[in-house]
Amino acid sequence: MPNSLQSNQTPLSLLLILIILSLGTYLIVPVILMSLGVEILGISLEEFMRKIGMENPEPQGQLVLILVQGASSVLSFIVVPAFFVKKYEASSLSSYFHSRWINTNAIVLTLGLTLSLMVVNSLLIEWNMNVKFPESLASSFDRMEEQGRLMTEYLTDFYSLPYFLMVLVVVAVVPAIGEELLFRGLIQKYLQHIWNNPHLAIWATAIFFSAFHMQFYGFVPRMVLGAFFGYLFYYSGNLWYASVAHFVNNGFTLVMIYLFQQGIVEFDIEGTESVSIWPTLVFAIIGAVLFVLFKKQFHITDNLKNE
């Protein structure tokens, strides 16, 4: 973890600047790019949005949407944070992604941990989907959930291998780098400076990370996932481990969807059937053991001591 804040501004003011710059970009850029995209397609934005959710999506529309999402994510989660790090920390992204410090054993443990958590999280996903929210919130949450579902189905109707690879880059590679840099590398770090409590910072960042995705029927499992990424970064001091875990979590699902659509596998990962309790407990124990082994790979036991 970078050791100091180079700016004379307080951590809180820097955190606010970062959030305004990054999330402001994420809100504004898609509107501009989508307007350009539908102009190229020769249709109105309303007509384009109506086509989302329809069967047999048009490849041109899918390309526009995935390119808009990719460009917005790169600008918001990589370019803006990189600018922020250079301007306010007088540093570079290499201070967060230490390529020379990668521990092969820790990478293997990270892979096992991520797959174990995906199994355990399946129970949380099922539970969270059945949570009964107050009526005043339920209608809004249902609408956001339905919009997210339609968008996901629209983008993951893989009509060709090149398109699948494009989606894999936008949905798995870019978030693995960009979201980890923004949420774990920067937001978590600044909260840790403000509160002087790494665990509070990790969980607060995880809550913010989950809320950012605006899908509350998956809020708890995504929060747990965010905390998992946060602890990988905290104990290793290197964002590559959190990025690898993030990529595996997103990429594995996409690969399984693609293989199912191609008829290569029969298991539908998007199905509603969850893993039973006993295999989940076994994977929970395996994950706990792997996490202890992961921590032992590093001498960093409290990153606050290094700041």
* Radius of gyration (C-alpha) of the chain in whole angstroms: 20
Tokens encoding 230 = 């946060």
Q: Higher confidence at residue 3 or residue 251?
A: 251
Quick: pLDDT tens for 77-87.
Answer: 999 999 999 99
Closest CA relative to residue 284, chosen from 122, 133, 43, 143 = 122
pLDDT at residue 272 above 60?
A: no
Q: What is the mean pLDDT of the chain?
A: 88
163: CB partners within 8 A, 6+ apart: 59, 62, 63, 66
Residue whose tokens read 């509603």? 272
292: CB partners within 8 A, 6+ apart: none
Residue whose tokens read 């797959």? 115
Share of the chain above pLDDT 90, in %: 59
Q: Higher confidence at residue 112 or residue 49?
A: 112
CB burial string 126-148: b at 16+ within 10 A, e below: eebeeeeeeeeeeeebeeebeee
What would the mean pLDDT of 7-26 be, rounded to a whole number?
A: 90
78: CB partners within 8 A, 6+ apart: 174, 177, 178, 181
Distances in Å between the alpha carbon of 237 and those of 68, 185, 220, 288? 32, 9, 25, 20
Cα separation of 108 and 120, whole Å? 19
Quick: pLDDT tens for 105-163.
Answer: 999 999 999 999 999 998 898 889 888 888 878 888 888 888 888 888 889 999 999 99
**Predicted TM-score (pTM) above 0.85:** yes
Cα separation of 267 and 89, whole Å? 47
Tokens encoding 165 = 């690879």
Amino acid at 71: A
Quick: pLDDT tens for 191-238.
Answer: 999 999 999 999 999 999 999 988 888 899 999 999 999 999 999 999
Distances in Å between the alpha carbon of 79 and those of 23, 88, 108, 229? 12, 14, 29, 21
pLDDT at 176: 97
